[in-house]
Amino acid sequence: MDLLQDAARRANLYLNSIHDRRVTPTPESIAALETAIKTELPETPTAAETVLADLDQFGSPATVASQGGRFFGFVTGGTTPAALAASWMISTWDQNAALRVMSPAAAIFEETALTWLRGLLNLPADAAGAVVTGATMANFTGLAAARHALLQKQNWDVENDGLFGAPPITVVVGGEVHVSLLKALGMLGLGRRRVIRVPVDGQGRMRADSLPPLNETTIVCIQAGNVNTGAFDPAAEICEAAHKAGAWVHVDGAFGLFAAMSPQYRHLTTGFAQADSWATDGHKWPNVGYDCGLAFVRDSEALRGAMTMNAAYLPPGAHRDPCHYTPEMSRRARGVELWAAIRAQGRTGMAALIERTCSHARRFADGLRAAGHTVLNDVELNQVLVTFGTPEQTLAVMRRVQAEGICWCGETEWQGHVAMRISVSSWATTEADVDAALASILRATQ
């Protein structure tokens, strides 16, 4: 059989059986993969058909079924059919999305997707955009633009002269800042530990009344969607205070920013459009495949200043060349998948995805409370934190749920509680999935 036909056949079989299989692979299938794959380096060629057969026979059973409807760990979306088909096409085209001359197609799809996203997310129409690998790199990208802009105002050219001897920049974060933002600060020379942490309220929101003194060398990092509770920082108040002082506001909105796509949830994102840079993820709530992150920067010159590069063979084109806005040069044409995902669903479909997953989260919370368990957070979004007694009892419930394999939820420690974290982020989750998962969780408490 034709190799690509066979790949499509195997992919279809995989997706068609995903709803009936265990969410996590069995230890036996993981062991079988280890044994079959970790061989000596092959000396001679193997037919591509055999390579594909090995991939499917040993690889598929050892995957986590995050493409099904019952994986609620971390903040994990699936891939919508249009996004998956687009991913096959861009792998087929093998386009390099660094420069427009290398792929006019990649550049045009990407520009369109970015324009549509600025509309869906209620961001300034002239903000610069970058399609990167995830929210970690999107945080890096937004913060690099912030570093560039604030130091330029101090007459310091950070890209050419580095940070040694530069005027110091103060970074302000919330007490429940995501670790990826700290990692980005580390990579930028701004320091993971060299931050001022602002106290948070009972949902993990930064307290606007506890901000330190701000000035024109301060970056304030706020969150749209706390990774545990889903809560939003008070963006309007913080942006106003920061801008009065000349500070820069960066938003980590890895998933929460997408609440803006729904008329029902948009109010949660009020004020976030006032910020200066935004980081978010295509591979979480919008259900585009891995990997896909997005950075937006209000002052496009700040992003360009941080990311541009010059070489004799890089012609200054009349069009937007993506590599002047991203940390990478050569890269996959991720913008095509984003375009396809949005085109297939439209504004109403994207809103429905947000509303459906949030309503599933409430169904979880209601079912757990009805059975007498404690839901720790206000379930305003797609995140549910629940405890089942002592930390040991909660962990034991989690282990039983994970072992049964009907669904998967992970653990977290939040404001002094050990909790199970349920994140409903997949387009594929149905009410029946929620009910099956609830039943499994409640069985595990007995």
| Interaction site with ligand PLP (CB under 6 A) | 75, 134-136, 178, 180, 225, 227, 252, 254-255, 281, 293
* Minimum gap (Å) between residue 185 Cβ and ligand PLP: 13
Cβ-based nearer residue to ligand PLP, 135 or 438:
135
* Minimum gap (Å) between residue 375 Cβ and ligand PLP: 20
Q: How far apart are CA 320 and CA 318, in angstroms?
A: 7
* Minimum gap (Å) between residue 180 Cβ and ligand PLP: 4
Cβ-based nearer residue to ligand PLP, 281 or 380:
281
Q: How far apart are CA 202 and CA 245, in angstroms?
A: 27
- Of all residues in the shown chain, the one whose CB is closest to ligand PLP is 134
Cβ-based nearer residue to ligand PLP, 129 or 305:
129
CA-based nearest residue to 257, from 286, 287, 228: 286
Cβ-based nearer residue to ligand PLP, 135 or 303:
135
Question: Which strand ranges, in their side-by-side order, compose the sheet holding 417-423?
Answer: 374-375, 383-387, 417-423, 410-414
* Minimum gap (Å) between residue 335 Cβ and ligand PLP: 16
* Minimum gap (Å) between residue 110 Cβ and ligand PLP: 18
* Minimum gap (Å) between residue 175 Cβ and ligand PLP: 14
Cβ-based nearer residue to ligand PLP, 156 or 258:
258
Please compute Rg for the chain using Cα positions.
23
Cβ-based nearer residue to ligand PLP, 107 or 257:
257
The pair of three-digit structure tokens given for residue 289, joined into one six-digit string: 């495949």
* Minimum gap (Å) between residue 243 Cβ and ligand PLP: 23
Q: How far apart are CA 238 and CA 412, in angstroms?
A: 28
Cβ-based nearer residue to ligand PLP, 135 or 336:
135
The pair of three-digit structure tokens given for residue 320, joined into one six-digit string: 């937007």
Q: Is the peptide bond before 161 cis (omega within 30 degrees of 0)?
A: no
* Minimum gap (Å) between residue 293 Cβ and ligand PLP: 5
Q: How far apart are CA 66 and CA 283, in angstroms?
A: 12
The pair of three-digit structure tokens given for residue 123, joined into one six-digit string: 């961001």
* Minimum gap (Å) between residue 130 Cβ and ligand PLP: 14
Cβ-based nearer residue to ligand PLP, 141 or 217:
141
* Minimum gap (Å) between residue 5 Cβ and ligand PLP: 33
The pair of three-digit structure tokens given for residue 189, joined into one six-digit string: 């020379």
Cβ-based nearer residue to ligand PLP, 219 or 438:
219
Cβ-based nearer residue to ligand PLP, 147 or 178:
178
CA 147 vs. chain centroid, Å, equals 22
Please state the φ and ψ torsions of residue 329, each to the nearest 5 degrees. -105, -85
Cβ-based nearer residue to ligand PLP, 33 or 259:
259
* Minimum gap (Å) between residue 134 Cβ and ligand PLP: 3
